[in-house]
Structure 1
């Protein structure tokens, strides 16, 4: 929110705002307020925002995040070259002394080479949520902590990740009502995944091997001579999901119009989630590398997701919108390129 406000105030895009803005430094005692929460009081269920509290607490973490775990895991990666291993080891050594590491840009390249965005997030999340709060509250067994843990499992299922055997083994630690709800959600998810395997009408395309400046042109080549709606989205984007639902009736109306739907997602959309969401998005799908995602985001002025681009039958852009402009606006723009 702070970065977005900075971008709007200075009339720059989100990426430049993120690089330019100096984030406020949290004091060492910033997370003391968590200790004020009554973690074992059922009265928390009476809170008006109880539906949001467990989700927000899953993002709770120390004021100062420690990246030691991330770089320790990277240092143990057998794929590192000798120079890369020395660079990571040097960073860990200098960090331990409390000194400033001078080669942070080179270090970032090594991190992104071997760890995807999901890998990095998964490692850092081990310092957050229930793991962090159990230390704050000095217990692993309290009512609010059960809600936080259950929410984490539930959110993974929303992203199409069924419970693992290891996760199922932990369900006995939950109250019966929570355990039964999680198992019911898991059964429903497994049924959806099986149903998705039968769906048709969508095609996954390989990214073309093209130079950056020709990348988008090459991606659009299969649709030459057709009107195209390009939807730049992400699986984790709530507004993207909502827009897809709102667009469904319009897409049904235009089913025989010859309009082509092309969906662009990046590696920051987990592949398992992506593969289980696209069966309901009829059209053509690209899932691109972080590098391609960043480049196209800049050149297509996709300053956020969702971003929509309409191309006419000559391949010229006729409409661009960061954010969902609404069904009526989309209908008007699409009918325009269809000549209706």
Structure 2
């Protein structure tokens, strides 16, 4: 449990409205894929399982940063049991932080993807629930050097 807890990133101490910018700030110039999910969300877990192999295959690139945002509605014991098998940076948000992100992007359900281009453009991308488009979008942005 302790080792799993150690892989949870410290959530930046900023207002909930600034949380996305604070989380992506250290990754300037990289392609950042943010996955909004929770442990109790079966479609989220299925999407993660489908996307995970891409990270060691077609999407194996140091210029891609994988960020996973779950909130406190995910039971901590289940959350820390699942995240070691998901390659990326893991943040556990407060309900207030998750709500601010939801309002900002008009999130209609999870999984929900937020895509950050190399030049720092942050956009909500529910269309990336389509796994082929997910891969294509990331590859195109990585190749845009």
User: TM exceeds 0.5?
Assistant: yes
* Alignment partner of 1:246 is 2:53: no
Offset, 1:332 = 0.5
More helix by share: 1
Which of the residues 26, 49, 52 maps onto 1:222?
A: 26
Equivalent-residue separation in structure 2 for 1:291 and 1:261 (angstroms) = 22
Question: Counterpart in 1 of 2:85?
Answer: 280
* Structure-2 change in CA distance of 1:220 and 1:213 (3 Å): same
Offset, 1:319 = 6.1
Question: Counterpart in 2 of 1:289?
Answer: 94
Equivalent-residue separation in structure 2 for 1:283 and 1:291 (angstroms) = 23
Offset, 1:223 = 1.4
Offset, 1:219 = 1.6
**TM-score, with length taken from structure 2:** 0.87
Offset, 1:256 = 2.9
SS at 2:135's partner residue?
Answer: helix
Equivalent-residue separation in structure 1 for 2:104 and 2:136 (angstroms) = 25
* Alignment partner of 1:269 is 2:74: yes
Aligned length: 141
**TM-score, with length taken from structure 1:** 0.39
Equivalent-residue separation in structure 2 for 1:273 and 1:323 (angstroms) = 26
Question: Counterpart in 1 of 2:103?
Answer: 298
1:189-228 to 2 correspondences below 5 Å: 203-228=7-32
Contact kept? 2:113, 2:126, Cα under 8 Å: yes
Equivalent-residue separation in structure 2 for 1:318 and 1:270 (angstroms) = 28
Equivalent-residue separation in structure 2 for 1:322 and 1:329 (angstroms) = 8
Offset, 1:336 = 1.3
* Structure-2 change in CA distance of 1:333 and 1:226 (3 Å): same
Equivalent-residue separation in structure 2 for 1:211 and 1:299 (angstroms) = 13
Equivalent-residue separation in structure 2 for 1:303 and 1:266 (angstroms) = 16
Which of the residues 255, 259, 271 maps onto 2:60?
A: 255
Contact kept? 2:17, 2:100, Cα under 8 Å: no
* Structure-2 change in CA distance of 1:223 and 1:277 (3 Å): same
Contact kept? 2:68, 2:91, Cα under 8 Å: yes
1:154-169 to 2 correspondences below 5 Å: none
More strand by share: 2
Question: Counterpart in 2 of 1:338?
Answer: 142
SS at 2:125's partner residue?
Answer: strand
Structure 2 alignment gaps of length 5 or more: none
Offset, 1:295 = 1.1
**Aligned alpha-carbon RMSD (Å):** 2.2
Question: Counterpart in 1 of 2:133?
Answer: 329
SS at 1:302's partner residue?
Answer: coil
Equivalent-residue separation in structure 2 for 1:302 and 1:238 (angstroms) = 17
Offset, 1:318 = 5.6
